[in-house]
Amino acid sequence: MNDFVFSVPTTIYFGKGQVEKLGGIVQQYGSRALLVYGGGSIKRSGLYDKVLGQLKKNFVSVTELAGVEPNPKIASVREGVRLCRENKVDVVLAVGGGSSIDCAKVVAAGACYDGDPWDLVTEPARIQKALPLVTVLTMAATGSEMNHNAVITNPETHEKLGTAGQALKPRASILDPELTFTVPKRQTAAGTADIMSHTFENYFTGVKGAFLQARFAEGILRTCIQYGPAALKRPDDYEARANLMWASSHAINGLLSCGAEVAWSVHPMEHELSAFYDITHGVGLAILTPNWMKYVLSDSTVGKFAEYGVNVWGIDANQAPLLTAQQAIEKTRAFFTVSLGLPSTLREVGIGEENLKVMAEHAASHGLEHAFVPLRADDVLKIYRASL
Ligand code: NZQ
Ligand code: ZN
């Protein structure tokens, strides 16, 4: 296990009715808030009215950045920064999924930066300061509620890039599983695939000796396998929603990667799909992951895949490791397509051969040479083609 620093300063308010505490939490950071939210789900669910009621009760004035799109665009960030300046905002409040939270993060940093906020995405080191951020999470997926990452898209340049900075960590996040009862089936499935993918990205590491982190990861994977289908079957299954929500936060808050950190494999490949085709992130991950697994399975990785098969899928530990590894990959594929009902091919989401080469080159330039199995552009192209 390598040395590491682990710090998650986000206070989590978990459980039913925690929104009742929102006004008091936000008020600690200022009296002028920017409320950031998506395309209207929070209005339909009644959450918007509750949030405004809380802020009003605590004398917090509100400016709104509404309509943040899935795969948030840099134009929304620029508008948010403008609103912060114009209204002398002192705290940013994101209410929604990863897209609203990510947008709010870069708005919060952009409000403290003199240049164009896109600089903060292309050069994360420029993120030195940010306005305090509070979040109310409405879907379990990205873990943005408890981490220092944000992913922003620039449609003009076909770039979807992750940025990161300590200043982006939310000060507090409200996690009420009941707020996720209304998440549509497709998003519930995609969110579950995203949580699993974050876990895979950390679990498949070449660093030896991080036994505990691997067991944490297996626990998160088993949680998704048990509760993803349960939430699809019964959207108001509190136990399922609660376990998925807590899994989402821990899959990507540093707990799994500390001491075993490795460059990610499937996320850089997926970000190209959403940059070019604006598809749902978790759907792209579910299509690519089994094909990536199959591609990187070799004599040197078979042990790790067999460990995954035995500890996560309960496959017989006494059979040949290669067979266990292959069965584990097939179980992963079947879980995404049969249990979660997600697409298994790129063509199903409208992606053909046309941009694969350029996407493979972009993806390979995002650290894949340092991944669990180093990949070049031609490797990525093969994985894309196998996913068609
Ligand atoms: O926009 P609204 O109307 O709110 O609807 C959203 C949206 O259409 C809807 N939704 C969310 N909560 C709901 C709900 N509908 C009904 N009831 C609710 N309670 O779901 C749709 C998707 O929302 P979005 O926020 O886009 O989903 P998600 O949380 O999956 O976020 C995806 C974005 O996060 C990035 C992805 O790339 C993508 O841009 N990621 C961020 C990461 C991070 N910050 O650490 C890591 C991830 O790997 C990921 O890349
Ligand atoms: Zn993800």
- What pLDDT sits at residue 124? 98
Q: pLDDT tens across 24-50, in order?
A: 999 999 999 999 999 999 999 999 999
Residue 53 confidence class, pLDDT cut points 50, 70, 90: very high
Whether 302 and 322 have beta carbons less than 8 Å apart is answered as yes
DSSP 8-class letter at 263: B
- What pLDDT sits at residue 173? 98
Whether 349 and 283 have beta carbons less than 8 Å apart is answered as yes
Q: pLDDT tens across 231-240, in order?
A: 999 999 999 9
Q: By alpha-carbon position, which residue is closest to atom 49 of ligand 1? A: 142
Q: pLDDT tens across 220-230, in order?
A: 999 999 999 99
Ligand 1 pocket check for 151: Cβ under 6 Å = yes
- What pLDDT sits at residue 94? 98
- What pLDDT sits at residue 225? 98
Residue 365 confidence class, pLDDT cut points 50, 70, 90: very high
- What pLDDT sits at residue 291? 98
CA dist., res. 130 & res. 225, Å (int): 37
Q: pLDDT tens across 55-113, in order?
A: 999 999 999 999 999 999 999 999 999 999 999 999 999 999 999 999 999 999 999 99
Cα-Cα-Cα-Cα dihedral sign, residues 205, 146, 255, 317:
negative
- What pLDDT sits at residue 337? 98
Residue 213 confidence class, pLDDT cut points 50, 70, 90: very high
Structure tokens at 143: 């873990």
C-alpha angle with apex 124: 121 to 130, nearest 5 degrees?
90
Query: What average pLDDT does the segment 327-352 reach?
Result: 98
Structure tokens at 17: 């009715």
DSSP 8-class letter at 229: H
Residue whose CB lies within 8 A of the most ligand 1 atoms, among 142, 168, 179, 274, for a mutation test: 142
* Residue 67 CA, closest ligand 1 atom number: 1
Q: Cβ–Cβ contacts within 10 Å for residue 233, how many?
A: 10
The whole-model pTM stands at 0.98
DSSP H or E segment with residue 175: strand 172-175
Residue 378 confidence class, pLDDT cut points 50, 70, 90: very high
In angstroms, the Cα distances linking 102 to 63, 94, 149, 225 are: 18, 9, 7, 26
**Helical ranges in 234-369 per DSSP H:** 238-251, 266-277, 281-296, 302-313, 321-334, 356-364
CA dist., res. 174 & res. 192, Å (int): 19
* Residue 99 CA, closest ligand 1 atom number: 25
Question: What one-letter code names the amino acid at 9?
Answer: P
Of 321, 301, 300, 299, nearest in space to 310 by CA = 321
CA dist., res. 55 & res. 283, Å (int): 35
Query: What average pLDDT does the segment 332-338 reach?
Result: 98
Q: At what angle do helices 281-296 and 377-387 cross, to 10 degrees?
A: 110
Q: At what angle do helices 356-364 and 266-277 cross, to 10 degrees?
A: 140
As a whole-number percent, the residues of the chain with pLDDT over 90 amount to 100
Burial class (CB in 10 A: 0-12, 13-18, 19+), 158: middle
Ligand 1 pocket check for 96: Cβ under 6 Å = yes
Query: What average pLDDT does the segment 369-374 reach?
Result: 97
State the chain's mean pLDDT as an integer: 97
Whether 94 and 37 have beta carbons less than 8 Å apart is answered as yes
Q: pLDDT tens across 1-25, in order?
A: 999 999 999 999 999 999 999 999 9
* Residue 285 CA, closest ligand 1 atom number: 48
CA dist., res. 110 & res. 88, Å (int): 13
SS3 41: helix
